[in-house]
Amino acid sequence: MNPDPTTAFMPCSPSEPQQHLELESVREVPDSHAWPALDDHPTVYEPVPVVDLAGPDASVTHLARVCESWGAFQVTGHGIRSDLLERLESETRRLFALPMDQKLKAARPSNGISGYGLARISCFFSKLMWSEGFTISGSPLDHALKLWPDADPSRFCDVMQEYSEEMKQVAGRVVRLMLLSMGLTAEEMKRAEEGTRVDQLSAVLQLNSYPPCPDPNRAMGLAAHTDSSLVTLLFQSGTSGLQLLRRQDQHGPARWVTVPPRPGALIVLAGDLLQILTNGRYKSVAHRAVVNRNHHRVSVAYICGPPPHHKLSPVGKPATPAPCLAYRAVSWADYLGLKAELFDKALASIMVTEDSRGDEGICC
């Protein structure tokens, strides 16, 4: 499950804010967490596509339309048992219900991957987010021993390990279906599968907690961003909060769409590496998490990609009229470095321009 502890999933800055509040006990949103405006785009209702991996909705034609127009969908028929999802939610809530001083014993170090901490993108924003997180890369045993020093940590560890193993299989199926939906030639498909086969995928598990907020209109659970991954598969509890940004299209201007909880479903989010691999055809989806006044929402993200130092090269025709590659080849490790420095401008930094095509010998 661990991509590379020296390069991948590092915080964007070693000076990550260290203000940890017991959010569930706060009665008024403090200035540190008060966001000036959350209505940059209207929030509307639109039915989010559902793909049944066990049914006809998994056809490549349907999936291509969904990936091109949404960059996200809910997936059912994935084979993950409901009892495992229930245990996953239970263990996630058990972790975040611990006292703050206990959680901080398993704090993520400034130069590390795993452990408890604030959202990694916090350093790009002047306000803090109404959430807390716990990242698992590899075995969670060391941290679990710190969280529950007087109890057997195996219950937590076993659930996280079982879920990660199951999710790797689902992620492999989803990525392969996405590639098949592009209509690639046999040679292009062979290239696309290098580094993206199920036995090659690497990942981390990100547990998220969004406690009830006394004034949801002034707080942000997780600010808008795209994931650096190939795909992220998200489990969310029965409280809504995830919102997708739909780009301006024939149906209207850019708008936020809330993804309603669907029992047993997972949410697939296209990441930046998928946009690179598909030559810009399947774009990564910007998303955010809003908070709720009365309910404590939790989610678990399985963030996966190729081996960290494997260079992904675009395949297929570019989404733009240009006849050549839209992006330079890049490894996940190198791209994470760009994302940590440039955030939402990272993708643009590796786009191939007319000048760079000649300089770098890039052509069709």
Q: What is the set of active-site residues?
A: 297
Map tokens 């808008």 to a residue. 224
Burial class (CB in 10 A: 0-12, 13-18, 19+), 219: buried
Other beta carbons within 10 angstroms of residue 348's beta carbon come to 10
**What is the b/e burial string over 314-335, where b = at least 16 CB atoms within 10 angstroms of the residue's CB?**
bbbbbeeebeebbbbbbbbbbb
Contact 189, 179 (CB under 8 A): yes
**What is the b/e burial string over 54-72, where b = at least 16 CB atoms within 10 angstroms of the residue's CB?**
eeebbeeebbbebbeebbb
Contact 29, 215 (CB under 8 A): yes
Contact 198, 168 (CB under 8 A): yes
Pairing of strands 43-44, 255-258: parallel
Map tokens 């959430």 to a residue. 131
| φ and ψ at residue 224, rounded to 5 degrees | -60, 135
9 φψ region: left (φ > 0), alpha (ψ -120 to 50), beta (else)? left
| φ and ψ at residue 123, rounded to 5 degrees | -70, -10
Distance of alpha carbon 74 from alpha carbon 208, whole angstroms: 19
Q: What is the DSSP string of 40-52?
A: SS-EE--PPPEEE
